[in-house]
């Protein structure tokens, strides 16, 4: 093997099957790398299997802040047979492949690839001690990145403190063997310029997307969560359940999605702040409940975690194809708000604000994420929770209270049963101001107009899109949701002073500055993970703007930085 010179950003991919502990290994590496002073990013992609199939996790270890997926594989650890075929397009002659002989495809053993074979005894038993393969990999990577053995050993002892002494001893033994092996076989052949950051950096937090959405919901005063588990939304349900006792929230795993959405509506009616977390197929069952919320003007927060459809589709892959469903779901016409975070800190802020917006305007508010966003993690600065305020808008009722009184902005005072002396009615039929059923044509028209007026009233709380790159741009890329980090990194690599990126956190109602920002560009490019450019359709229907180019992907995998660089260059050449 020739001498390898890594850059200041190393992409490590570990490929195995479900049940081999890839998620635990990912978390071990992320935590020790971050606490040791490195920037980190991880993304797991996996097949829809309880056991078996081929899964992989990509971990980036860098001197700079990273928050995006790359095709490049600097170090590959195949840990089962069949680990390599699916990664073939990403493996190059610059990739360092470390693994047992039987797990490395014969086509790579032609002398043209950098291969380090692990002796069989290093992944089975040695001197009567159990060698744990995942800990071997952990040890090799920590040794390569300059983390000393005492730090790594102490970290493992703390992480596995609930295990028996014998199992902890096996972990430490495997770690020591990995360090010995790395010092002899790898360190002399590998050069890398990774630099650790200081103590202040090490206090940064490490968040998965599902954690960020959950934390934001808690900050927004969420007190009730109902859901029927469905990938990839289940991570939010699990996080909320884990925090239920400490946070005083009620978490209900409903018997189905119809029950879940109706429970949430009932919780809001009773004065709680409620959220449902679901995915496309689950939300499809909630659309009647969504209309109920529209009719009775109930707040509700819906976390919609997108995955490829239709039907069951690709349960564990990623896509951005539920936007139009969120916009048009439910029979009848009533307002709603659609938000979508691009970064983990945005997820915290948007999820918090979703509850305030839902409460203030008495409308459904969607938080759109996807599998890539929820199952990826990176380090970020500490979040300033002092800026996140829980704002409640219900009133104490008095005799003669009218739940749906006509107002100038369409927002009627919302009362809670038992809070005050007024009667708080709720009826799914069309109703008058006091919420009694009516079929009067004039009242019907006034009620529809009243509800739709809220769209104009929301202008003051609109979240404007974020512009990065050149302020004097000729070429403008537009994106939303989880593509944010990847597009931003791609733009920096392209280095074109005529290029900028406009990222939307609010997808509906469309921010009022949208058209003025689009008009400044000579050419506009929309980038989405769906087949029909759904956000471009919304922009066109609201503003008349037609994009010059569309960059679309819908194979279940996220955009990589290299892929976006290549496609953007074709558009601006």
Write down the pLDDT at residue 120. Answer: 62
Write down the pLDDT at residue 19. Answer: 81
pLDDT in tens, 527-540: 999 999 999 999 99
**Per-residue pLDDT band at 132 (split at 50, 70, 90):** confident
Write down the pLDDT at residue 129. Answer: 58
Question: Has residue 144 got a pLDDT over 60?
Answer: yes
Domains of the chain by start residue, with CATH? 4-202 (3.40.920.10), 206-383 (3.40.50.970), 395-460 (no CATH), 466-572 (3.40.50.920)
Percent of the chain residues topping a pLDDT of 70: 98
Question: Has residue 121 got a pLDDT over 70?
Answer: no
Please identify which residue in the block is written with the tokens 């005894």.
121
Whole-number Å distance between alpha carbons of 162 and 168? 9
Write down the pLDDT at residue 64. Answer: 92
Q: Give the residue among 226, 145, 131 at the shortest CA–CA distance from 178.
A: 131
Instruction: Read off φ and ψ for residue 539, nearest 5 degrees.
Output: -60, -40
Q: Which helix (H) or strand (E) holds 11?
A: strand 9-18
SS3 category, 143: helix
**Per-residue pLDDT band at 5 (split at 50, 70, 90):** confident
Mean predicted confidence (pLDDT) in 497-512:
97
**Beta-sheet strands, E only, within 356-514:** 364-370, 376-380, 395-397, 415-420, 466-469, 475-480, 499-504, 506-508
- Count of residues making up the chain: 573
Mean predicted confidence (pLDDT) in 447-462:
95
Question: Has residue 198 got a pLDDT over 90?
Answer: no
Average pLDDT score, the chain: 94
Higher pLDDT, 463 or 184: 463
**Per-residue pLDDT band at 199 (split at 50, 70, 90):** confident
Whole-number Å distance between alpha carbons of 163 and 425? 56
Mean predicted confidence (pLDDT) in 41-58:
87
Whole-number Å distance between alpha carbons of 136 and 443? 72
Question: Has residue 75 got a pLDDT over 60?
Answer: yes
Alpha helices in 390-533 (DSSP H): 441-457, 484-494, 514-519
pLDDT in tens, 311-331: 999 999 999 999 999 999 999
Among 199-208, 217-226, 443-452, 533-542, the range scoring the smallest mean pLDDT is: 199-208
CA distances from 280 to 6, 303, 326, 356, 561 (A): 41, 10, 9, 24, 27
Q: What spatial distance separates the first Cα and last Cα of the chain, rounded to whole Å?
A: 39
Higher pLDDT, 367 or 131: 367
Mean predicted confidence (pLDDT) in 8-13:
95
Write down the pLDDT at residue 126. Answer: 52
**Per-residue pLDDT band at 558 (split at 50, 70, 90):** very high
Percent of the chain residues topping a pLDDT of 90: 84
Question: Has residue 342 got a pLDDT over 90?
Answer: yes
SS3 category, 337: strand
**Per-residue pLDDT band at 415 (split at 50, 70, 90):** very high
**Per-residue pLDDT band at 488 (split at 50, 70, 90):** very high
Q: Give the residue among 41, 7, 27 at the shortest CA–CA distance from 560.
A: 41
Question: Has residue 125 got a pLDDT over 70?
Answer: no
Write down the pLDDT at residue 1. Answer: 55
pLDDT in tens, 283-303: 999 999 999 999 999 999 999
Among 45-59, 229-243, 471-485, the range scoring the smallest mean pLDDT is: 45-59
Write down the pLDDT at residue 202. Answer: 77
Higher pLDDT, 127 or 543: 543
Mean predicted confidence (pLDDT) in 251-279:
98
Q: Give bridge partners of residue 437 from the DSSP assignment.
A: 431
Write down the pLDDT at residue 2. Answer: 62
Which residues are CB-contacts of 486 (< 8 A; sequence separation ≥ 6)? 68, 69, 558, 559, 560, 561, 564
Higher pLDDT, 429 or 190: 429
**Per-residue pLDDT band at 108 (split at 50, 70, 90):** very high
Question: Has residue 185 got a pLDDT over 90?
Answer: no
């Amino acid at each position: 093997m020739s001498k390898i010179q890594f850059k200041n950003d190393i992409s490590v991919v570990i490929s195995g099957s479900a049940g081999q502990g890839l998620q635990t290994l990912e978390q071990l590496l992320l935590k020790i790398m971050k606490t040791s002073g490195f920037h980190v990013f991880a993304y797991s992609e996996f097949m829809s299997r309880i056991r078996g199939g081929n899964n992989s996790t990509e971990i980036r270890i860098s001197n700079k802040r990273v928050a995006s997926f790359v095709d490049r594989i600097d170090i590959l650890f195949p840990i089962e047979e069949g680990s390599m075929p699916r990664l073939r397009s990403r493996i190059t002659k610059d990739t360092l492949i470390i693994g047992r002989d039987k797990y490395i495809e014969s086509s790579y053993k032609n002398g043209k690839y950098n291969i380090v074979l692990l002796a069989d005894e290093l992944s089975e038993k040695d001197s009567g001690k159990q060698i744990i393969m995942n800990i071997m990999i952990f040890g090799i990577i920590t040794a390569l990145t300059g983390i000393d053995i005492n730090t790594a050993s102490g970290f493992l002892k703390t992480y596995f403190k609930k295990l028996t002494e014998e199992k902890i001893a096996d972990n430490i033994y495997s770690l020591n063997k990995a360090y010995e092996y790395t010092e002899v076989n790898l360190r002399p052949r590998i050069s890398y310029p990774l630099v650790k950051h200081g103590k202040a950096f090490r206090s940064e937090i490490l968040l998965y997307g599902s954690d960020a959405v959950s934390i934001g919901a808690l900050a927004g005063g969420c007190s009730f969560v109902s859901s029927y588990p469905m990938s990839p939304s289940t991570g939010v349900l699990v996080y909320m359940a884990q925090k239920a006792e400490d946070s005083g929230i009620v978490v209900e795993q409903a018997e189905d999605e119809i029950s879940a959405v109706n429970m949430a509506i009932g919780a809001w009616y009773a004065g709680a702040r409620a959220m449902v977390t679901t995915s496309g197929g689950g939300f499809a069952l909630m659309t009647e409940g969504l209309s109920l919320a529209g009719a009775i003007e109930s707040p509700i927060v819906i976390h919609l975690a997108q995955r490829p459809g239709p039907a069951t589709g690709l349960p564990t892959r990623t896509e951005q194809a539920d936007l139009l469903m969120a916009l048009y779901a439910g029979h009848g016409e009533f307002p709603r708000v659609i938000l979508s975070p691009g970064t983990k800190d945005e997820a915290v802020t948007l999820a918090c604000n979703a509850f305030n917006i839902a409460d203030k305007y008495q409308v459904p508010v969607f938080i759109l994420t996807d599998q890539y966003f929820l199952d990826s993690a990176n380090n970020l600065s500490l979040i300033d929770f002092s800026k996140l305020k829980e704002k409640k808008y219900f009133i104490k009722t008095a005799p003669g209270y009218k739940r749906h009184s006509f107002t100038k902005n369409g927002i009627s005072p919302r009362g809670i049963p038992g809070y005050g002396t007024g009667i708080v009615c709720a009826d799914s039929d069309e109703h008058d101001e006091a919420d009694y059923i009516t079929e009067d044509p004039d009242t019907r028209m006034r009620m529809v107009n009243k509800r739709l007026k809220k769209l104009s009233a929301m202008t003051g709380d609109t979240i404007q899109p974020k512009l990065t790159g050149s302020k004097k741009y000729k070429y403008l890329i537009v994106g939303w949701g989880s593509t944010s980090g990847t597009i931003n990194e791609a733009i920096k690599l392209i280095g074109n002073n005529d290029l900028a990126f406009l990222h939307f956190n609010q997808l509906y109602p469309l921010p009022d500055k949208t058209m003025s920002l689009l008009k400044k560009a000579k050419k506009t490019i929309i980038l989405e993970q769906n087949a029909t450019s759904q956000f471009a359709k919304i922009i066109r229907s609201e503003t008349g703007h037609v994009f010059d180019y569309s960059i679309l992907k819908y194979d279940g995998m996220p955009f990589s930085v290299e892929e976006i660089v290549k496609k953007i260059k074709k558009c601006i050449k």
